[in-house]
Amino acid sequence: MNKKFFIPILIGIAIIPILASFTDSSSDVNQTSKIDFIYSNVDEIQKILIAENISMSNPNVISDDTVGQYCTYFDNENVQRFVQYCVTTALVDSDGKPLGNLNMGGNPISPSMALSILEVSPDIDSKRDQIDFIFQTMIENLVCDCWSKQQPGGFESISAWLDAAQNKYSESTQPTLKSKIDGLAQKQLILEITATENSYLWTLIVVK
């Protein structure tokens, strides 16, 4: 798959109060379950997504002045952070239609963040099974396989976290919802749902 599909990262959209914030500084997670992810994790994720008939292109390296369009995020103080090096991949759903991107960035040696931004229409819950699978795959391969044990934010599963965000978003009149999980395996997870003119964007950001 050579065609690149790119959804730009949206900046400056109004954000309603955070749905849930979880901070865990305990050492309950077994050291072997924590993951210090590297760029080659993209290859592992690619293999797993194939099992769900989701195709992912080979990574394209971005290191010029457009890197901010592919790999950027806001930290806990809501300060926008950029990276100098980024790899981006295009995701195609089981129907052969563009779904979004999975990107990873940091310096050329080690990534400091990863994000997936998925676009669905016409409804917010369109392709939820695929969204759940992609986000779960990211968390289990870039953070830890420890969600069911830790249950951050009181959510028994990753899907339950997404359900709560979707329900809260549906009750809101704001265009964007953000939910944060801090400290799971010493990483930060940021989930965002945003409405565009004709679709909805689901974004998951993982920060070391």
Region for 123 from its dihedrals, namely left if φ exceeds 0, alpha if ψ lies in -120 to 50, beta otherwise: beta
Can you name the residues that pair with 103 across neighbouring β-strands? Answer: 88, 115
CA distance 140 to 46: 13
CA angle 108, 36, 93 (to 5 degrees): 80
Q: End-to-end alpha-carbon separation of the chain, Å?
A: 30
Q: What is the pLDDT of residues 49-95, one digit of tens each?
A: 998 899 999 999 987 788 888 898 877 677 888 899 999 999 999 88
The model's pTM:
0.87
Q: What is the pLDDT of residues 160-193, one digit of tens each?
A: 999 999 999 999 888 999 999 998 999 999 999 9
Token representation of residue 203: 């974004």
CA distance 108 to 59: 13
